[in-house]
Amino acid sequence: MITNLLQGKKGIIFGALNNKSIAWHVAEKAHAQGARIVLTNAPVAIRMGTITELAEKTGSEVISADATSMKDLEVLFMRAMEIFEDKIDFVLHSIGMSPNVRKGIPYAEISYENMLKTLDISALSFHRILQTAYKLDAIREWGSVVALTYVAAQRTLAGYNDMGDAKALLESISRSFGYIYGKGRHVRVNTVSQSPTATTAGAGIEGFDSLVDFSDRMSPLGNADAADCADVCITLFSDLTRKITMQNIFNDGGFSSMGMSQRAIEQYRKSFDECTDK
């Protein structure tokens, strides 16, 4: 069904690496809903991934930008407005990386140089994007900005390391700047907290497969996948959610509101069956 929910809107999408990326799905769905898009990612991610394929499919330009560089971000927003001959309507932030996770350094032994990098890349980058857009007055009134996050911001997950802290910081920045951007320019800022998703980034988390299985059995609707997440982003970019701001929307099949499901506890119970070796 063609609904044209984003007809005439222009957006910048950060963080599409390959077709497993949530940002990839958002770009495809936004395009299908009538939006024009500029894609951006860090130079290294552009080289490693397949973003040009996405650009072709969606008729988009790719602009390389390091989201921790104010200069890159300024050039990006300026260039995007040139391309669109217009202001921006929506922005997606899907950026996260922890050197501590990558190097397998346990949370109780982390390097603070690494942790500051985790926070800078995964959370301050969102502030940088918002500050750049705000300074350039690049986002149209009633525009919408979304960042992707995870329940680790609220609840600790073994192995998720300093990414949980980075997501908590990201969500706080979303509220803090959401206040500024809301009162000043009627732009809304929200986060979407997604089920564990088998992206290239997600696969780096220790014990990820068991977690995904558990999460799926705990969630009455099962885990949400990248396409589900993209759908929710479309609603947040549309004009139908103009007064939702400074919120964290869980798109997780119900996981965040579950204490224990029958399916998960039944599976758990099997772990005590006699023939298992413990």
Binding residues among 139-168 for a second copy as defined by CB under 8 A: 151-160, 162, 164-165, 168
**Closer to a second copy by Cβ: residue 36 or 128:** 128
Binding residue for a second copy, selected from 54, 146, 177, 199, defined by CB under 8 A: 177
- Closest distance of CB 195 from a second copy, Å: 7
Q: Does 204 bind a second copy (CB under 8 A)?
A: no
**Closer to a second copy by Cβ: residue 77 or 181:** 181
Contact code string over 10-49 relative to a second copy, x by CB under 8 A: ----------------------------------------
Three-state secondary structure call for residue 168: helix
Q: Does 64 bind a second copy (CB under 8 A)?
A: no
User: 208-218 and 262-270 are packed helices; what angle lies between their axes, rounded to 10 degrees?
Assistant: 130
Q: Does 240 bind a second copy (CB under 8 A)?
A: yes
Q: Which amino acid is at 19?
A: N
Binding residue for a second copy, selected from 176, 198, 204, 216, defined by CB under 8 A: 176
Q: Does 113 bind a second copy (CB under 8 A)?
A: no
Whole-angstrom distance, CA of residue 167 vs CA of residue 123: 7
The residues in 117-136 that bind a second copy, with binding defined as CB under 8 A, are 119-120, 124, 127-128, 130-131, 134-135
Binding residue for a second copy, selected from 57, 71, 103, 242, defined by CB under 8 A: 242
CA 139 remoteness from chain centre: 19
Whole-angstrom distance, CA of residue 8 vs CA of residue 33: 9
Q: Does 67 bind a second copy (CB under 8 A)?
A: no
Q: Are 182 and 246 in contact (CB under 8 A)?
A: yes
- Output DSSP code: residue 106: -
Phi, psi values for residue 206, rounded to 5°: -65, 135
Q: Does 251 bind a second copy (CB under 8 A)?
A: yes
Q: Does 178 bind a second copy (CB under 8 A)?
A: yes
The residue behind tokens 């029958």 is 262
DSSP string, 205-227: STTHHHHHHHHHHHSTT----HH
Q: Site size for a second copy, by CB under 8 A?
A: 103
Whole-angstrom distance, CA of residue 10 vs CA of residue 5: 12
